[in-house]
Amino acid sequence: MNCIVIDDEATARMIISQLCSNVPSLTVLEEFPNAMQAIKYLNQNEVDLIFLDIHMPDFTGFDFIETLKTPPKIILTTSDPNFAIQAFEYDCIVDYLVKPITQERFNKAIAKAEAKQNKPVATNSKIEKVAATSGNDLYVNIDRRLIKIDIPSIYLVEAKGDYIQVKTEDKNYTVHSTLKKIEEKLPDSLFLKVHRSYIINVMKIIDIEDNSVLIKKDVIPVSRSNRPELMKRLNLL
């Protein structure tokens, strides 16, 4: 993928470019200290991916996105975690990286961008209010508050109409979102969709019987198509 880096800090641009250099599928075409220079470049050139800082003088990252009629995929890079919900209101934004950015977290963002490479992108299409940040945290928007959830504490996610219920060790959360959207945010190493309405944390399984699993006090159905993958994940004697 051909990409550009937009950040008003030279050190930040250098770090992003270095992270890109460790990913063979990425080619950094240009770096820009401000959005206006980038817009002029994009008027003449096409790119697959933009690494975009949110806080820049005179023209924020969100202002920049609003100027693009058909934006490419965008990965936000910022020191501020407080805009995660706003960021994920745009389909073109595939991930939200909070500085300092590790190579491992960076690589996950690239994997998301590559998975979305062939999908159409809308400039300002609203999506569900679920956003992941770095590390083990998931942020959800509940009653206009941004609530942080420790991802490993989640043991079950259940679809309920236009909402999902996220169950954790300490508390349950009802969020306006889809199972597909939160599935994209959860690490594959811990979570598995076992049914069209359920995602489970495989580390929290207590018992398996026939086509169901027991997690805490919840008995969760396992569809026939998902059972083979579940059995692969288990450390069987």
- Residue 38 CB partners (closer than 8 Å, separation 6+): 4, 6, 32, 50, 64
Under 8 Å between Cβ of 182 and 151: no
Please give the CATH topology (third level) of the domain spanning 2-115: Rossmann fold (3.40.50)
Question: What pLDDT is stored for residue 133 in this prediction?
Answer: 44
Spatial CA neighbour of 182 closest among 205, 206, 154, 220:
154
Encoding tokens for residue 237? 């004697």
Q: What is the pLDDT of residue 75?
A: 95
What pLDDT score does 68 carry? 85
The pLDDT, as a whole number, for residue 73 is 94
Say what the pLDDT of residue 162 is. Answer: 83
The ranges of the chain annotated as CATH 3.40.50.2300 are: 2-115
CATH H superfamily, domain 152-233: LytTr DNA-binding domain (2.40.50.1020)
Tell me where in the chain the CATH 2.40.50.1020 domain(s) lie.
152-233
pLDDT at position 82 is 80
Residues 164, 179 contacting (CB under 8 angstroms): yes
Tell me what pLDDT residue 194 has. Answer: 93
pLDDT of residue 235: 66
Predicted confidence at residue 177, as pLDDT, reads 86
Three-class DSSP category at 106:
helix
Q: d(Cα 185, Cα 131) in Å, to the nearest integer? A: 7
Half-sphere exposure of 68 (CA within 13 A, CB side): 30
A 10 A CB-CB count for 64 gives 23
Tokens (6 digits) for 137: 């945290």
The confidence score (pLDDT) of residue 109 equals 93
Q: What is the pLDDT along the chain (237 residues), one digit of tens a residue?
A: 999 999 999 999 999 999 999 999 999 999 999 988 999 999 889 999 999 999 887 778 888 888 888 889 999 999 888 877 777 678 889 999 999 999 999 999 999 898 876 444 443 333 334 544 445 778 887 776 788 888 899 999 999 888 899 999 888 999 888 888 888 888 888 899 999 999 999 999 999 887 899 998 899 999 988 888 888 887 665
